[in-house]
Protein backbone atom coordinates (compact mmCIF):
# COMPACT_ATOMS: atom_id res chain seq x y z
CA UNK A 1 0.00 0.00 0.00
CA UNK A 2 1.02 3.64 -0.39
CA UNK A 3 2.71 5.31 2.55
CA UNK A 4 -0.16 7.22 4.09
CA UNK A 5 -0.39 9.23 7.25
CA UNK A 6 -0.86 12.71 8.62
CA UNK A 7 1.00 15.66 7.11
CA UNK A 8 4.26 16.86 8.63
CA UNK A 9 2.48 19.84 10.20
CA UNK A 10 -0.19 17.59 11.70
CA UNK A 11 2.41 15.14 12.94
CA UNK A 12 4.31 17.90 14.73
CA UNK A 13 1.12 18.89 16.53
CA UNK A 14 0.34 15.26 17.38
CA UNK A 15 3.92 14.66 18.57
CA UNK A 16 3.69 17.70 20.87
CA UNK A 17 0.42 16.41 22.32
CA UNK A 18 1.87 12.93 22.73
CA UNK A 19 5.11 14.09 24.29
CA UNK A 20 3.85 16.97 26.43
CA UNK A 21 1.41 14.90 28.43
CA UNK A 22 3.96 12.14 28.82
CA UNK A 23 6.58 14.63 30.03
CA UNK A 24 4.18 15.72 32.77
CA UNK A 25 3.19 12.20 33.76
CA UNK A 26 6.76 10.95 33.88
CA UNK A 27 7.87 14.07 35.73
CA UNK A 28 5.27 13.15 38.35
CA UNK A 29 6.45 9.54 38.36
CA UNK A 30 10.14 10.38 38.64
CA UNK A 31 9.94 12.99 41.37
CA UNK A 32 8.57 10.14 43.46
CA UNK A 33 11.55 7.96 42.51
CA UNK A 34 14.01 10.74 43.39
CA UNK A 35 12.28 11.42 46.70
CA UNK A 36 12.27 7.69 47.46
CA UNK A 37 16.05 7.65 47.08
CA UNK A 38 16.78 10.87 48.99
CA UNK A 39 13.97 11.54 51.47
CA UNK A 40 11.42 8.77 52.08
CA UNK A 41 13.62 6.52 54.26
CA UNK A 42 13.79 9.35 56.83
CA UNK A 43 10.34 10.86 56.26
CA UNK A 44 8.16 7.75 56.11
CA UNK A 45 10.26 4.79 57.33
CA UNK A 46 12.47 6.19 60.13
CA UNK A 47 11.69 3.35 62.56
CA UNK A 48 13.23 0.77 60.20
CA UNK A 49 16.72 2.26 60.26
CA UNK A 50 18.79 3.41 57.25
CA UNK A 51 19.22 0.06 55.45
CA UNK A 52 15.73 -1.36 55.94
CA UNK A 53 14.22 2.09 55.43
CA UNK A 54 15.92 2.33 52.05
CA UNK A 55 14.60 -1.11 51.03
CA UNK A 56 11.08 -0.15 52.14
CA UNK A 57 11.35 3.16 50.31
CA UNK A 58 12.31 1.47 47.05
CA UNK A 59 9.52 -1.03 47.61
CA UNK A 60 7.07 1.88 47.25
CA UNK A 61 8.45 2.25 43.73
CA UNK A 62 7.76 -1.43 43.15
CA UNK A 63 4.07 -1.26 44.06
CA UNK A 64 3.52 1.21 41.23
CA UNK A 65 5.05 -1.20 38.74
CA UNK A 66 2.80 -3.98 40.02
CA UNK A 67 -0.18 -1.67 39.52
CA UNK A 68 0.88 -0.76 35.98
CA UNK A 69 -0.29 -4.00 34.27
CA UNK A 70 -3.64 -3.61 36.04
CA UNK A 71 -3.80 -0.03 34.79
CA UNK A 72 -2.96 -1.20 31.29
CA UNK A 73 -5.92 -3.59 31.34
CA UNK A 74 -8.26 -0.97 32.80
CA UNK A 75 -7.27 1.92 30.56
CA UNK A 76 -6.60 -0.38 27.62
CA UNK A 77 -10.26 -1.39 27.84
CA UNK A 78 -11.33 2.25 27.67
CA UNK A 79 -8.72 3.07 25.02
CA UNK A 80 -9.95 0.28 22.72
CA UNK A 81 -13.64 1.00 23.33
CA UNK A 82 -13.87 4.78 23.86
CA UNK A 83 -10.78 5.98 22.06
CA UNK A 84 -7.18 7.01 22.65
CA UNK A 85 -7.90 10.69 23.33
CA UNK A 86 -10.48 10.28 26.10
CA UNK A 87 -8.36 7.71 27.88
CA UNK A 88 -5.28 9.94 27.84
CA UNK A 89 -7.25 12.70 29.55
CA UNK A 90 -8.26 10.26 32.31
CA UNK A 91 -4.72 9.00 32.90
CA UNK A 92 -3.35 12.55 33.11
CA UNK A 93 -5.92 13.61 35.70
CA UNK A 94 -5.35 10.57 37.92
CA UNK A 95 -1.57 10.83 37.73
CA UNK A 96 -1.45 14.56 38.38
CA UNK A 97 -3.84 14.62 41.31
CA UNK A 98 -2.35 11.59 43.06
CA UNK A 99 1.15 13.06 42.67
CA UNK A 100 0.13 16.44 44.10
CA UNK A 101 -1.45 14.72 47.09
CA UNK A 102 1.82 12.91 47.90
CA UNK A 103 3.27 16.34 48.59
CA UNK A 104 0.58 16.93 51.22
CA UNK A 105 0.96 13.67 53.17
CA UNK A 106 2.28 14.25 56.74
CA UNK A 107 5.41 12.35 57.74
CA UNK A 108 5.50 9.26 59.97
CA UNK A 109 6.59 11.52 62.81
CA UNK A 110 3.20 13.25 62.68
CA UNK A 111 0.67 10.50 61.88
CA UNK A 112 2.63 7.30 62.36
CA UNK A 113 2.04 4.26 60.17
CA UNK A 114 -0.77 6.02 58.30
CA UNK A 115 1.85 8.11 56.48
CA UNK A 116 3.56 5.30 54.52
CA UNK A 117 0.16 3.67 53.90
CA UNK A 118 -1.16 6.86 52.28
CA UNK A 119 1.99 7.20 50.20
CA UNK A 120 1.65 3.61 48.99
CA UNK A 121 -2.02 4.12 48.05
CA UNK A 122 -1.17 7.24 46.05
CA UNK A 123 1.74 5.43 44.43
CA UNK A 124 -0.63 2.66 43.34
CA UNK A 125 -2.84 5.30 41.70
CA UNK A 126 0.23 6.66 39.93
CA UNK A 127 1.00 3.17 38.68
CA UNK A 128 -2.54 2.61 37.43
CA UNK A 129 -2.47 5.89 35.50
CA UNK A 130 0.97 5.28 34.03
CA UNK A 131 -0.19 1.83 32.97
CA UNK A 132 -2.39 3.49 30.37
CA UNK A 133 -0.33 6.60 29.62
CA UNK A 134 2.60 5.48 27.48
CA UNK A 135 0.43 3.27 25.31
CA UNK A 136 -2.16 5.93 24.56
CA UNK A 137 0.46 8.59 23.86
CA UNK A 138 2.37 6.23 21.62
CA UNK A 139 -0.69 5.06 19.67
CA UNK A 140 -1.73 8.67 19.17
CA UNK A 141 1.46 9.16 17.16
CA UNK A 142 1.91 5.68 15.68
CA UNK A 143 -1.60 5.44 14.27
CA UNK A 144 -1.24 8.84 12.58
CA UNK A 145 2.35 8.56 11.36
CA UNK A 146 3.39 7.87 7.75
CA UNK A 147 4.76 4.37 7.44
CA UNK A 148 8.26 5.40 6.34
CA UNK A 149 8.85 7.53 9.47
CA UNK A 150 6.67 5.74 11.99
CA UNK A 151 9.65 4.87 14.15
CA UNK A 152 10.66 8.51 14.47
CA UNK A 153 7.21 9.95 15.18
CA UNK A 154 6.22 7.15 17.54
CA UNK A 155 9.14 7.77 19.88
CA UNK A 156 7.81 11.08 21.23
CA UNK A 157 5.79 9.36 23.95
CA UNK A 158 8.97 7.57 25.04
CA UNK A 159 11.02 10.76 24.73
CA UNK A 160 8.60 12.44 27.12
CA UNK A 161 9.79 10.03 29.79
CA UNK A 162 13.38 11.15 29.32
CA UNK A 163 12.47 14.84 29.46
CA UNK A 164 10.27 14.24 32.49
CA UNK A 165 13.16 12.64 34.34
CA UNK A 166 15.54 15.48 33.47
CA UNK A 167 13.00 18.03 34.72
CA UNK A 168 12.42 16.07 37.92
CA UNK A 169 16.14 15.83 38.66
CA UNK A 170 16.73 19.48 37.77
CA UNK A 171 13.91 20.52 40.09
CA UNK A 172 15.43 18.63 43.01
CA UNK A 173 18.90 19.95 42.18
CA UNK A 174 17.59 23.53 42.23
CA UNK A 175 15.76 23.01 45.50
CA UNK A 176 18.81 21.33 47.04
CA UNK A 177 20.98 24.29 46.02
CA UNK A 178 18.65 26.94 47.44
CA UNK A 179 17.86 25.58 50.89
CA UNK A 180 19.50 23.83 53.80
CA UNK A 181 19.50 20.07 54.31
CA UNK A 182 17.06 20.47 57.18
CA UNK A 183 14.68 22.59 55.12
CA UNK A 184 14.90 20.17 52.19
CA UNK A 185 14.01 17.18 54.37
CA UNK A 186 11.29 19.15 56.17
CA UNK A 187 9.34 20.68 53.28
CA UNK A 188 11.53 21.31 50.22
CA UNK A 189 11.02 17.86 48.73
CA UNK A 190 7.25 18.52 48.68
CA UNK A 191 7.42 21.46 46.27
CA UNK A 192 7.81 19.40 43.05
CA UNK A 193 4.82 17.25 44.04
CA UNK A 194 2.49 20.15 44.79
CA UNK A 195 3.51 21.85 41.52
CA UNK A 196 1.72 19.01 39.71
CA UNK A 197 -1.57 20.86 40.24
CA UNK A 198 -0.33 23.44 37.72
CA UNK A 199 1.17 20.91 35.31
CA UNK A 200 -2.11 18.98 35.05
CA UNK A 201 -3.80 22.09 33.70
CA UNK A 202 -1.10 22.49 31.05
CA UNK A 203 -1.37 18.86 29.98
CA UNK A 204 -5.15 18.94 29.73
CA UNK A 205 -5.02 22.07 27.58
CA UNK A 206 -2.77 20.30 25.09
CA UNK A 207 -4.62 16.99 24.99
CA UNK A 208 -8.19 18.17 24.59
CA UNK A 209 -7.23 19.78 21.27
CA UNK A 210 -6.10 16.52 19.65
CA UNK A 211 -8.37 14.49 17.35
CA UNK A 212 -8.94 10.76 17.65
CA UNK A 213 -6.70 8.53 15.50
CA UNK A 214 -7.90 7.39 12.03
CA UNK A 215 -7.11 3.75 12.86
CA UNK A 216 -9.47 3.74 15.85
CA UNK A 217 -12.19 5.64 14.01
CA UNK A 218 -11.87 3.23 11.08
CA UNK A 219 -12.18 0.22 13.36
CA UNK A 220 -15.34 1.65 14.92
CA UNK A 221 -16.76 2.33 11.45
CA UNK A 222 -16.02 -1.23 10.31
CA UNK A 223 -17.62 -3.11 13.15
CA UNK A 224 -17.42 -1.40 16.48
CA UNK A 225 -15.11 -1.79 19.44
CA UNK A 226 -14.14 -5.14 20.91
CA UNK A 227 -16.39 -6.06 23.82
CA UNK A 228 -13.49 -7.44 25.90
CA UNK A 229 -10.31 -6.28 24.12
CA UNK A 230 -7.78 -7.70 26.59
CA UNK A 231 -9.37 -11.16 26.58
CA UNK A 232 -9.56 -11.06 22.80
CA UNK A 233 -5.88 -10.15 22.55
CA UNK A 234 -4.91 -13.11 24.73
CA UNK A 235 -7.10 -15.40 22.67
CA UNK A 236 -6.05 -14.16 19.23
CA UNK A 237 -2.35 -13.31 19.69
CA UNK A 238 -1.02 -15.05 22.83
CA UNK A 239 2.42 -15.56 21.33
CA UNK A 240 2.93 -11.89 20.57
CA UNK A 241 1.67 -10.83 24.00
CA UNK A 242 4.04 -13.29 25.69
CA UNK A 243 7.21 -12.31 23.83
CA UNK A 244 6.38 -8.59 23.81
CA UNK A 245 6.07 -8.82 27.61
CA UNK A 246 9.74 -9.75 27.85
CA UNK A 247 10.99 -7.42 25.13
CA UNK A 248 11.73 -4.47 27.40
CA UNK A 249 12.98 -6.06 30.62
CA UNK A 250 16.56 -4.89 29.96
CA UNK A 251 15.43 -1.39 29.05
CA UNK A 252 13.43 -0.99 32.24
CA UNK A 253 16.12 -2.62 34.40
CA UNK A 254 18.95 -0.46 33.07
CA UNK A 255 16.99 2.76 33.12
CA UNK A 256 15.44 2.47 36.56
CA UNK A 257 18.70 1.22 37.98
CA UNK A 258 20.33 4.42 36.69
CA UNK A 259 17.63 6.84 37.82
CA UNK A 260 16.72 5.35 41.21
CA UNK A 261 19.14 2.77 42.64
CA UNK A 262 22.31 4.48 41.42
CA UNK A 263 21.22 7.79 42.96
CA UNK A 264 21.17 6.13 46.34
CA UNK A 265 24.30 4.07 45.54
CA UNK A 266 26.25 7.15 44.51
CA UNK A 267 25.46 9.09 47.67
CA UNK A 268 25.58 6.33 50.30
CA UNK A 269 28.13 3.79 48.98
CA UNK A 270 30.41 5.86 46.74
CA UNK A 271 30.08 8.90 49.04
CA UNK A 272 29.58 11.36 46.17
CA UNK A 273 27.80 14.59 47.01
CA UNK A 274 24.08 14.87 46.34
CA UNK A 275 24.49 17.76 43.84
CA UNK A 276 27.09 15.72 41.95
CA UNK A 277 24.86 12.66 41.77
CA UNK A 278 21.80 14.69 40.73
CA UNK A 279 23.79 16.54 38.06
CA UNK A 280 25.09 13.26 36.65
CA UNK A 281 21.51 11.95 36.77
CA UNK A 282 20.38 14.86 34.60
CA UNK A 283 23.17 14.12 32.13
CA UNK A 284 22.23 10.42 32.06
CA UNK A 285 18.60 11.34 31.44
CA UNK A 286 19.60 13.58 28.54
CA UNK A 287 21.75 10.80 27.07
CA UNK A 288 18.75 8.49 27.34
CA UNK A 289 16.71 10.94 25.26
CA UNK A 290 19.38 11.26 22.59
CA UNK A 291 19.63 7.48 22.37
CA UNK A 292 15.85 7.15 22.00
CA UNK A 293 15.87 9.51 19.02
CA UNK A 294 18.83 7.71 17.46
CA UNK A 295 17.35 4.25 17.93
CA UNK A 296 13.98 5.31 16.52
CA UNK A 297 15.52 7.00 13.48
CA UNK A 298 17.80 4.04 12.72
CA UNK A 299 14.82 1.67 13.00
CA UNK A 300 13.12 3.43 10.10
CA UNK A 301 16.14 2.54 7.96
CA UNK A 302 17.14 -0.96 9.04
CA UNK A 303 14.12 -2.20 11.02
CA UNK A 304 12.95 -2.09 14.64
CA UNK A 305 13.93 -5.66 15.45
CA UNK A 306 17.62 -5.25 14.50
CA UNK A 307 17.99 -2.19 16.72
CA UNK A 308 16.36 -3.89 19.71
CA UNK A 309 18.48 -7.01 19.22
CA UNK A 310 21.68 -4.93 19.05
CA UNK A 311 20.80 -3.03 22.22
CA UNK A 312 20.15 -6.19 24.23
CA UNK A 313 23.27 -7.94 22.92
CA UNK A 314 25.52 -5.04 23.99
CA UNK A 315 23.70 -4.85 27.33
CA UNK A 316 24.79 -8.38 28.30
CA UNK A 317 28.47 -7.43 28.37
CA UNK A 318 27.90 -3.99 29.88
CA UNK A 319 25.89 -5.44 32.78
CA UNK A 320 28.97 -7.40 33.88
CA UNK A 321 31.31 -4.42 33.47
CA UNK A 322 29.14 -1.74 35.14
CA UNK A 323 29.87 -2.17 38.83
CA UNK A 324 33.62 -2.72 38.52
CA UNK A 325 33.67 0.63 36.71
CA UNK A 326 31.47 2.35 39.30
CA UNK A 327 33.45 1.07 42.25
CA UNK A 328 36.44 3.28 41.48
CA UNK A 329 34.22 5.82 43.30
CA UNK A 330 35.00 8.88 41.20
CA UNK A 331 32.50 11.32 39.71
CA UNK A 332 33.90 10.62 36.22
CA UNK A 333 33.44 6.85 36.36
CA UNK A 334 30.02 7.28 37.96
CA UNK A 335 29.04 9.55 35.07
CA UNK A 336 30.40 7.08 32.51
CA UNK A 337 28.59 4.17 34.15
CA UNK A 338 25.28 6.04 34.38
CA UNK A 339 25.39 7.49 30.86
CA UNK A 340 26.44 4.31 29.05
CA UNK A 341 23.72 2.43 30.92
CA UNK A 342 21.00 4.89 29.86
CA UNK A 343 22.36 5.08 26.29
CA UNK A 344 22.09 1.32 25.80
CA UNK A 345 18.58 1.33 27.28
CA UNK A 346 17.48 4.33 25.20
CA UNK A 347 18.82 2.95 21.92
CA UNK A 348 16.85 -0.30 22.35
CA UNK A 349 13.82 1.64 23.59
CA UNK A 350 13.62 4.04 20.64
CA UNK A 351 11.97 1.68 18.14
CA UNK A 352 9.53 0.16 20.63
CA UNK A 353 6.89 2.88 20.21
CA UNK A 354 6.42 1.67 16.65
CA UNK A 355 7.41 -1.99 17.02
CA UNK A 356 4.90 -2.99 19.68
CA UNK A 357 1.80 -1.38 18.08
CA UNK A 358 2.79 -2.99 14.77
CA UNK A 359 2.40 -6.42 16.38
CA UNK A 360 -1.31 -6.14 17.23
CA UNK A 361 -4.70 -5.58 15.61
CA UNK A 362 -6.39 -2.20 16.05
CA UNK A 363 -9.41 -3.53 17.95
CA UNK A 364 -7.28 -4.59 20.93
CA UNK A 365 -4.02 -2.77 20.22
CA UNK A 366 -4.25 -0.46 23.25
CA UNK A 367 -4.87 -3.37 25.63
CA UNK A 368 -2.29 -5.75 24.17
CA UNK A 369 0.47 -3.16 23.76
CA UNK A 370 -0.13 -1.64 27.18
CA UNK A 371 -0.22 -4.95 29.01
CA UNK A 372 2.96 -6.24 27.34
CA UNK A 373 4.78 -2.99 27.99
CA UNK A 374 3.82 -2.86 31.66
CA UNK A 375 4.54 -6.52 32.41
CA UNK A 376 8.05 -5.76 31.24
CA UNK A 377 7.94 -2.79 33.61
CA UNK A 378 7.28 -5.10 36.55
CA UNK A 379 10.02 -7.56 35.59
CA UNK A 380 12.62 -4.97 34.68
CA UNK A 381 11.60 -1.82 36.53
CA UNK A 382 10.26 -3.04 39.86
CA UNK A 383 12.36 -6.07 40.69
CA UNK A 384 15.99 -4.93 40.16
CA UNK A 385 15.93 -1.73 42.31
CA UNK A 386 14.21 -3.62 45.14
CA UNK A 387 16.49 -6.66 45.14
CA UNK A 388 19.70 -4.83 44.21
CA UNK A 389 20.67 -3.98 47.79
CA UNK A 390 19.94 -7.52 49.00
CA UNK A 391 21.87 -9.14 46.13
CA UNK A 392 24.93 -6.96 46.61
CA UNK A 393 24.89 -7.45 50.39
CA UNK A 394 24.74 -11.22 50.07
CA UNK A 395 26.77 -11.95 46.95
CA UNK A 396 28.53 -8.75 45.88
CA UNK A 397 28.25 -6.40 42.94
CA UNK A 398 29.19 -9.01 40.33
CA UNK A 399 26.04 -10.97 41.21
CA UNK A 400 23.90 -7.91 40.52
CA UNK A 401 25.66 -7.47 37.19
CA UNK A 402 24.99 -11.12 36.37
CA UNK A 403 21.32 -10.63 37.24
CA UNK A 404 21.14 -7.68 34.83
CA UNK A 405 22.87 -9.76 32.16
CA UNK A 406 20.20 -12.46 32.54
CA UNK A 407 17.48 -9.85 32.03
CA UNK A 408 19.31 -8.70 28.89
CA UNK A 409 19.35 -12.26 27.58
CA UNK A 410 15.57 -12.45 28.14
CA UNK A 411 15.08 -9.25 26.12
CA UNK A 412 17.32 -10.59 23.35
CA UNK A 413 15.47 -13.92 23.11
CA UNK A 414 12.08 -12.16 22.96
CA UNK A 415 13.27 -9.80 20.21
CA UNK A 416 14.56 -12.76 18.18
CA UNK A 417 11.19 -14.52 18.57
CA UNK A 418 9.18 -11.64 17.04
CA UNK A 419 8.98 -10.66 13.39
CA UNK A 420 9.81 -7.31 11.79
CA UNK A 421 6.59 -5.54 10.72
CA UNK A 422 7.57 -1.95 9.93
CA UNK A 423 5.74 -2.05 6.58
CA UNK A 424 2.36 -2.92 8.13
CA UNK A 425 -0.60 -0.56 7.78
CA UNK A 426 -1.85 0.05 11.33
CA UNK A 427 -5.35 0.69 10.06
CA UNK A 428 -5.56 -2.93 8.87
CA UNK A 429 -5.77 -6.10 10.99
CA UNK A 430 -2.44 -7.63 11.91
CA UNK A 431 -1.94 -11.34 11.28
CA UNK A 432 -3.11 -13.46 14.17
CA UNK A 433 -0.03 -15.67 14.01
CA UNK A 434 3.55 -14.54 13.47
CA UNK A 435 6.80 -16.41 13.26
CA UNK A 436 10.36 -15.41 13.85
pLDDT in tens, 371-412: 999 999 888 877 777 777 778 778 888 888 999 999 999 999
CA distance 136 to 72: 10
Question: What is the value of pTM for the model shown?
Answer: 0.85
Please check the confidence at residue 302 and state whether its pLDDT lies above 50.
yes
- Residue 360 confidence (pLDDT): 94
What pLDDT, in 10s, does the model give residues 57-100?
Answer: 777 777 877 888 999 999 999 999 998 888 988 988 898 888 88
Instruction: Return the pLDDT at 338.
Output: 92
Class of residue 250 by CB neighbours under 10 A (exposed 0-12, middle 13-18, buried 19+)? buried
Q: How confident is the model at residue 436 (pLDDT cuts 50, 70, 90)?
A: very low
231 vs 270, higher pLDDT? 231
Does the pLDDT of residue 432 top 70, yes or no? no
pLDDT surpassing 90 at residue 14: no
Radius of gyration of the chain (CA): 21
The pLDDT score that the predictor gives to residue 435 is 40
Tell which wins on pLDDT, 429 or 286. 286
Higher pLDDT, 234 or 10: 234
CA 140 to chain centre: 17
**Measured between alpha carbons, how far is 19 from 360 in angstroms, rounded to an integer?**
22
Q: Which residue has the higher pLDDT, 289 or 162?
A: 289
**139, 79 in Cβ contact below 8 A?**
yes
The share of the chain scoring above pLDDT 70, in percent, equals 95
Q: Is the pLDDT score of 244 beyond 90?
A: yes
- Residue 44: which pLDDT band, with cuts at 50, 70 and 90? confident
What values do phi and psi take at 271, rounded to 5?
Answer: 60, 30
- The residue ranking higher by pLDDT, 178 or 382, is 178
Per-residue pLDDT, averaged over 216-223, amounts to: 81
pLDDT band at 251 (very low <50, low <70, confident <90, very high): very high
333-382: per-residue pLDDT in tens?
999 999 999 999 999 999 999 999 999 999 999 999 999 999 998 888 77
- Residue 108 in this model has a pLDDT that exceeds 90: no
* Of 175, 393, 380, 183, residue with least CA distance to 268: 393
- Pick the closest to residue 87 from 127, 140, 16 (CA basis): 140
Mean pLDDT of the chain: 86
Amino acid sequence: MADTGATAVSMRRIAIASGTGTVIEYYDFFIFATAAALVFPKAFFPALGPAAGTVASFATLGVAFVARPLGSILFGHFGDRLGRKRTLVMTLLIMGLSTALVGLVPTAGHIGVAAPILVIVLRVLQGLALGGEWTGATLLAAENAPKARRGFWSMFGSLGGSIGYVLASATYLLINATMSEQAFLSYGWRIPFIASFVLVGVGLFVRVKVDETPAFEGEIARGGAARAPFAEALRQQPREVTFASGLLVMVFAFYYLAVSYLINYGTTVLKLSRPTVLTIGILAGAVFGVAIVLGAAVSDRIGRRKVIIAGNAVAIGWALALFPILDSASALTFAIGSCVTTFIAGFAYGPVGAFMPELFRTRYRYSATGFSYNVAGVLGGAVPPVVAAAITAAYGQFALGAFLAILSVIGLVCALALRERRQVDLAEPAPQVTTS
